[in-house]
Structure 1
Amino acid sequence: MPTIGTFTKAGDIFTGTILTLTLNVTVNIVPADRVSDQSPDYRIHWGCVDCGAAWKRTNDAGQAFLSVKLDDPAFPHPIYASLFADDDENRFNLVWSRPKGR
């Protein structure tokens, strides 16, 4: 699974660049106002454009991460990825994954 982004964290806000063959954008992942248990924990903004959401998760090894969904009308399908902490506490890697069946 390739890394498509690198982020740093300041307080509760993640800032970083997503770089793919079709994207080269700087985004902010900011805490969201949750209205239900299914609501995202974070919203993803590219400038003033809301381009995705993220949910807090924990993997089988007990490692916390964010499950990320990026979407835009120009995309044929949403992009799914996971934001994991790097060895440095303030650095994070956005790792892309393709859902099964696509």
Structure 2
Amino acid sequence: MASIGKLKSGTHDRGIIYWGRVATLQFGAEIALVPTGNDDDTLPSHMVVTKVHGGVAELGAAFAKKVKNGENAGKTFYSMTLDDPSFAAPMHLSAFPLPNGEEGLDVVWRRPRASLPSPDAIAQANRDHDKATGSTGAPLDDQIPF
């Protein structure tokens, strides 16, 4: 995971707000995580917003989660996805407490894990294809006439 920014913390009428700059080679913005007031774990705990053209635009949502293992076990971190029509793909970020008791969050980028089909699913798809096309399942090299 690569660190792409740091967020400071402060108070808001609905809870703790975080703000700061995130930047990659292709994207950079001042962002804020603004509390939504939701207590339901299935709903975002924060909206992710940025300033644009004298106003504010929503870039995504952040979900509060708890660190399960390690020295930060039990501490809150935020899992968020930012998206905008100008992005080639959504940005998947996490924000973890800063080390050494510093106030604020370290924002890190993470590449989503690709979900690969299981070997059984691939074998079944091949059998279905062979049945549908009448193929003998012979290697492709044997089926090409050149």
Same-fold call, TM > 0.5? yes
Which residue, 83, 96, 121 being the options, matches 1:84? 96
Larger deviation, residues 88-97 vs 1-10? 88-97
1:44-83 equivalence runs, <5 A:
44-47=48-51, 48-61=56-69, 62=73, 63-83=75-95
The match for 1:100 is 113
The match for 1:24 is 28
Asked if the contact 2:34/2:47 (under 8 Å) is kept, the reply is yes
4+ residue runs over 3 A deviation: 33-37
Q: Matched residues, percent identical?
A: 28
The match for 1:2 is 2
Distance (whole Å) between structure 1 residues aligned to residue 76 and residue 65 of structure 2? 6
CA RMSD between the two structures:
1.8
1:27-42 equivalence runs, <5 A:
27-34=31-38, 37-42=41-46
Deviation at 1:33?
Answer: 4.2
Higher strand share goes to which structure?
1
Tell me the alpha carbon deviations over residues 50-94 of structure 1, each in whole angstroms, 9 at most, x when there is no partner: 001100001222232011111111112211111011123313100
Which amino acid counterpart does residue 66 of structure 2 have in structure 1? T
- Tell me the TM-score normalized by structure 2: 0.64
- Tell me the TM-score normalized by structure 1: 0.89
Deviation at 1:37?
Answer: 4.5
Greater gyration radius:
2
Structure 1 residue runs without a partner (length 5+):
none
Higher helix share goes to which structure?
2
Which amino acid counterpart does residue 108 of structure 2 have in structure 1? V
Asked if the contact 2:39/2:45 (under 8 Å) is kept, the reply is no
